């Protein structure tokens, strides 16, 4: 049902583009088609923002060339299909690192900009878009817009976080960050409940560049919100530095007949992970790859969710009601026996996201996977939306396959302004869904 | 540091191979028909670590352009020690079967022009007493098959030509490397349904880089094609003629 050469990462919904075009060289004009266009990077968006059923997908995978890199300043220019993994492989040995990285290195630069992705350093570095110096946009009226925070700034703001709808992003320039070596100093602490999480986060954000927590989404009552808090900094140079790791690793070989994450395995997996260490605190040195990208170690891990795929849910709730709202979200998830093994909590910082439609904003973000079990899953996510809407929060389009048009317009107050920048030749499953009914923000 | 000429450098397989050379800090001279694409690839290879990258627009079908281009490559890099011939066309077999001119044009690009180019290179490398000459042939050259025998026979001619060249240049210390890729997911095969036998250009580029580094005489890539083609060439005609190969 989801068999397609260009699926989304959640493998739901099914991908059925009318056609796929793969430009071999950086185009200077858009291809002429009579169906809506959408760029497809590396297919790591979870839901339907990278799908374009009955439309034309532009597979950007072969636009993977670097254009320029200055090892003295760390400014890199590349085509939109270059993967963050490609950048790391090139720049880490030269003492540079991505200014912001999401939890997988297998996203394209174009995708990172279109979703204005964030990482564990959001509280100090903001989003990926904060570090984009320049981008080039091809529009269906034949124009080429070179956008920076100062030139065509309104187009820059619409394109960063613009879900690929403002035109075709062909190349970008990114300012990297200096590092001394590929290793990380990692400090891992157990916490027993949400209050401890908030206390740890507040105590860590000043001295640690990277903070994130894994949370046991099956725990309830006194244990609600227990988990592990991970805080880290880049390690000062070691004497000698081994070569960066190869990208190889095991591949999850096939789509399992049923989801491996299900009500039977959910609690044992979470409890085991919570109990994985005796000591309540440990410090160690890790290579950046397992630290930032633990899931990249198993290729196609999404196949473990079975033939119906999975939905990811990531929301942010403002600081004011964060404690209450996160508790209610976790309680509803645990009560439903839903969720998975991969649940993440993080406090966002106050750095302003540059995009009109950027998801990150001050508050607390919760992200977790749900095996797709049909109606009960969708009803639960709708109930979670009620909590997020009441708290004045937002849900992340890059992870979404089901939020309502009404919820979307509440989450993104700049929506009406953004519409003016959407290229009439571009669309996506996501965009058609969240604009299918006309709802004005209240 | 190698001094490498790549003819047909805008091919996807050539580009993936060139990235390996660039990462090793080699110097590259690239030719192809499309100037914008050559420039984009040259910029990329510089970022990836190539010592120098120079480009020249050339259509390899134009035999008279070969010698001046090789002179220019030698001048730009201060000599040459490695050549990779990577261009080729996959002609429409139906058209070639119907039209003698189409069949001859396919042979001109995939066999005649390569023979001309390799002859010139071979003489230069024989004189200098070292070097590696590599060309991308195809598993299609191992046995003529109804589905693409014009392309296959041009590659078969190239295979035999390179076998002889290798024999001749053995004494001079020049390596001759015949690359025989199977089906690769590139623009050349864009219209094909991709099955499990299709390899990625990255994988094939890595194999070619290794074959050139080691001076492998005949390199099947991916390696399992050696087995497949052994079986196909061993099939008795009585059976072979009944297949749709």
CA distance A160 to A132: 9
Residue of B nearest to A86 (CA): B48
Please give the pLDDT value at position B112.
Answer: 98
pLDDT at A339 over 90: no
Q: What is the dihedral of CA A373, A379, A383, A385, to 10 degrees?
A: 80
Measured between alpha carbons, how far is residue A411 from residues A325, A352, A358 in Å?
15, 16, 10
The domain ranges of chain A are: 183-402
Please give the pLDDT value at position A439.
Answer: 46
pLDDT digits (tens, 9 = 90+) for B17-32: 999 999 999 999 999 9
pLDDT at A290 over 80: yes
Residues of B with catalytic roles: 151
Confidence tier at A243 by pLDDT (50, 70, 90): low
pLDDT at A250 over 80: no
Domains and CATH numbers, chain B: 3-240 (3.40.50.720)
| Average pLDDT over every residue of B66-92 | 97
Does A66 contact B44 at a Cβ distance shorter than 8 Å? yes
Interchain contact A106–B (C-beta under 8 A): no
- In a mutational test of the A interface, the residue from B9, B32, B40 whose CB has the highest number of chain A CBs within 10 Å is B40
CA distance B113 to B119: 10
Please give the pLDDT value at position A260.
Answer: 84
> End-to-end distance of chain A based on CA atoms, in angstroms?
38
Please give the pLDDT value at position A436.
Answer: 87
- Residue A63 φ then ψ, to 5°: -90, 70
| Average pLDDT over every residue of A25-36 | 92
CA distance B240 to B38: 42
A204 DSSP assignment: H
pLDDT digits (tens, 9 = 90+) for A353-406: 999 999 999 999 999 999 999 999 999 999 999 999 999 999 999 999 999 999
Placement of tokens 């107050």 in the chain: A413
- Inter-residue contact A412 to A360 (CB < 8 Å): no
pLDDT digits (tens, 9 = 90+) for B29-50: 999 999 999 999 999 999 999 9
| Average pLDDT over every residue of B173-188 | 94
CA distance A46 to A401: 8
With b meaning 16 or more CB within 10 Å and e meaning fewer, what string describes A390-425? ebbbbbbbbbbbbbbebbbbbbbeebeebeebbbeb
- Inter-residue contact B31 to B77 (CB < 8 Å): no
Q: How close B123 comes to chain A (CA, Å)?
A: 35
Q: How close B130 comes to chain A (CA, Å)?
A: 32
Interchain contact A73–B (C-beta under 8 A): no
Confidence tier at A3 by pLDDT (50, 70, 90): very low
Quick check: bond before A13 cis, omega within 30? yes
Residue of A nearest to B23 (CA): A90
Q: Which residues of chain B does A26 touch, with a Cβ-Cβ cutoff of 8 Å? A: 40
**What are B's interface residues with A at a Cβ cutoff of 8 A?**
12, 34, 36-37, 40-41, 43-44, 47-48, 187, 190, 194
pLDDT at A440 over 50: no
B124: tokens are 């230069």
Q: How high is the ipTM of this complex?
A: 0.92
Strands (E), chain B: 3-7, 27-32, 53-57, 82-85, 131-136, 174-181, 218-221
Nearest to A88 by CA among A231, A244, A239: A244
For A356-438, where are the alpha helices, taking DSSP H only?
375-390, 405-411, 415-419, 429-434
Please give the pLDDT value at position A278.
Answer: 76
Strand partners, A56: A19, A37
Domain A183-402 has CATH 3.30.1130.10: no
Residue of B nearest to A5 (CA): B194
Please give the pLDDT value at position A247.
Answer: 52
Strands (E), A129-262: 132-138, 144-147, 168-175, 177-178, 183-191, 210-215, 227-234
Among the residue ranges A131-145, A428-442, B18-32, B195-209, the one predicted with the least confidence is: A428-442
Nearest to A363 by CA among A328, A398, A315, A400: A315
B170: tokens are 């053995």
CA distance A133 to A129: 9
- In a mutational test of the A interface, the residue from B47, B187, B200, B205 whose CB has the highest number of chain A CBs within 10 Å is B47
- Residue A84 φ then ψ, to 5°: -55, -35
CA A216, A222, A228, A233 torsion: positive or negative? positive
Does B47 contact A90 at a Cβ distance shorter than 8 Å? yes
CA distance A432 to A163: 12
Please give the pLDDT value at position A248.
Answer: 58
Task: Give the closest of A5, A22, A65 to B44, CB-based.
Answer: A65
Q: Which residues of chain A does B190 touch, with a Cβ-Cβ cutoff of 8 Å? A: 22
A74: tokens are 């760390």
Please give the pLDDT value at position A263.
Answer: 80
Q: How close A238 comes to chain B (CA, Å)?
A: 24
Residue of A nearest to B195 (CA): A5
Please give the pLDDT value at position B194.
Answer: 79
Please give the pLDDT value at position A239.
Answer: 60
| Average pLDDT over every residue of A234-238 | 86
B166: tokens are 């290798």
pLDDT at A438 over 60: no
Among the residue ranges A62-71, A243-252, A342-351, B232-241, the one predicted with the least confidence is: A243-252
| Average pLDDT over every residue of A295-301 | 87
CA distance A393 to A403: 13
Task: Give the closest of A22, A65, A90 to B40, CB-based.
Answer: A65
Please report the number of interchain residue pairs, chain A to chain B, with beta-carbon separation below 8 angstroms. 31
| Average pLDDT over every residue of A323-328 | 96
Is A341 or B14 the better-scoring residue by pLDDT?
Answer: B14
Mean pLDDT of chain A, nearest integer:
92
Reported pTM: 0.93
- Inter-residue contact B157 to B111 (CB < 8 Å): yes
Among the residue ranges A245-254, A410-419, B158-167, the one predicted with the least confidence is: A245-254
CA distance B150 to A157: 54
Q: Kindly state the percentage of chain A with pLDDT values over 90.
A: 82
pLDDT at B235 over 50: yes
């Amino acid at each position: 049902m989801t068999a397609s050469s260009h699926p989304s990462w959640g493998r739901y919904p099914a991908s059925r583009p009318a056609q796929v075009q793969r430009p071999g060289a950086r185009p200077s004009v858009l291809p002429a088609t009579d169906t809506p266009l959408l760029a497809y990077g590396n297919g790591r968006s979870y839901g339907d923002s990278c799908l374009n059923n009955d439309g034309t997908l532009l597979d950007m995978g072969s636009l993977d060339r670097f254009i320029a890199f200055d090892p003295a300043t760390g400014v890199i220019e590349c085509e939109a299909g270059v993967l963050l993994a490609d950048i790391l492989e090139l720049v880490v040995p030269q003492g540079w690192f991505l200014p912001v990285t999401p939890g997988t290195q297998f996203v394209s630069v174009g995708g990172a900009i279109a979703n204005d992705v964030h990482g564990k350093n959001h509280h100090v570095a903001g989003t990926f878009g904060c570090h984009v110096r320049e981008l080039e946009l091809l529009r269906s009226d034949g124009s080429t817009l070179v956008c920076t925070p100062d030139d065509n700034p309104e187009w820059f703001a619409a394109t960063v976080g613009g879900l690929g709808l403002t035109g075709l992003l062909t190349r970008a320039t990114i300012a990297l960050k200096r590092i001394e070596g590929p290793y990380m100093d990692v400090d891992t602490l157990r916490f027993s409940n949400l209050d401890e999480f908030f206390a740890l986060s507040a105590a860590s954000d000043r001295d640690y560049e990277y903070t994130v927590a894994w949370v046991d989404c099956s725990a309830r009552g006194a244990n609600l919100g227990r988990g592990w808090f991970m805080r880290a900094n880049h390690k000062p140079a070691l004497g000698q530095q081994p070569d960066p790791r190869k990208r190889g690793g095991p591949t999850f070989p096939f789509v399992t007949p049923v989801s491996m994450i299900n009500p039977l395995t959910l609690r044992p997996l979470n409890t085991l992970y919570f109990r994985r260490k005796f000591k309540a605190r440990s410090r160690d040195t890790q290579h950046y790859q397992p630290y930032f990208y633990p899931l990249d170690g198993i290729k196609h891990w999404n196949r473990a969710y079975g033939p119906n795929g999975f939905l990811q849910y990531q929301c942010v709730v403002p600081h004011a009601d964060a404690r209450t709202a996160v508790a209610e979200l976790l309680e509803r998830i645990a009560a439903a026996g839903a969720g998975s093994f991969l649940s993440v909590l993080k406090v966002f910082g106050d750095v302003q996201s540059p995009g009109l439609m950027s998801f990150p904003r001050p508050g607390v973000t919760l992200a977790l996977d749900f095996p797709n079990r049909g109606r009960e899953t969708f009803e639960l996510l709708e109930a979670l939306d009620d909590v997020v809407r009441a708290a004045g929060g937002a849900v992340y389009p890059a992870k979404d396959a089901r939020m309502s048009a009404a919820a979307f317009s509440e989450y993104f107050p700049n929506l009406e302004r953004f519409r003016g920048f959407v290229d009439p030749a571009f669309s996506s499953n996501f965009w058609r869904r969240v604009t299918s009914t006309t709802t004005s923000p209240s | 540091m190698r001094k490498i000429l790549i003819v047909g450098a805008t091919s996807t397989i050539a580009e993936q191979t060139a990235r390996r050379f660039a990462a090793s800090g080699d110097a590259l001279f690239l030719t192809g028909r499309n100037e914008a694409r050559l420039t984009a690839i040259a910029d990329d290879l510089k970022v990836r670590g190539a010592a120098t990258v120079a480009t020249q627009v050339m259509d390899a079908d134009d035999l008279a352009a070969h010698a001046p281009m090789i002179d220019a490559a030698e001048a730009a890099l201060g000599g040459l020690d490695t050549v990779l011939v990577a261009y080729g066309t996959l002609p429409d077999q139906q058209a070639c079967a119907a039209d003698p001119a189409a069949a001859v044009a396919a042979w001109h690009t995939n066999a005649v022009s390569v023979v001309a180019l390799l002859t010139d290179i071979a003489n230069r490398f024989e004189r200098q007493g070292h070097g590696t000459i590599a060309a991308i042939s195809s598993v299609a050259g191992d046995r003529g098959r109804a589905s693409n025998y014009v392309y296959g026979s041009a590659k078969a001619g190239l295979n035999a030509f390179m076998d002889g060249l290798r024999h001749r240049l053995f004494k001079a210390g020049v390596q001759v490397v015949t690359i025989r890729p199977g089906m690769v997911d590139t623009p050349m095969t864009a219209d094909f349904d991709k099955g499990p036998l299709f390899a990625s250009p990255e994988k094939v580029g890595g194999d070619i880089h290794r074959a050139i580094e080691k001076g492998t005489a005949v390199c099947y890539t991916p390696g399992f094609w050696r087995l497949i083609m052994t079986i196909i060439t061993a099939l008795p005609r009585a059976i072979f003629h009944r297949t749709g190969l």
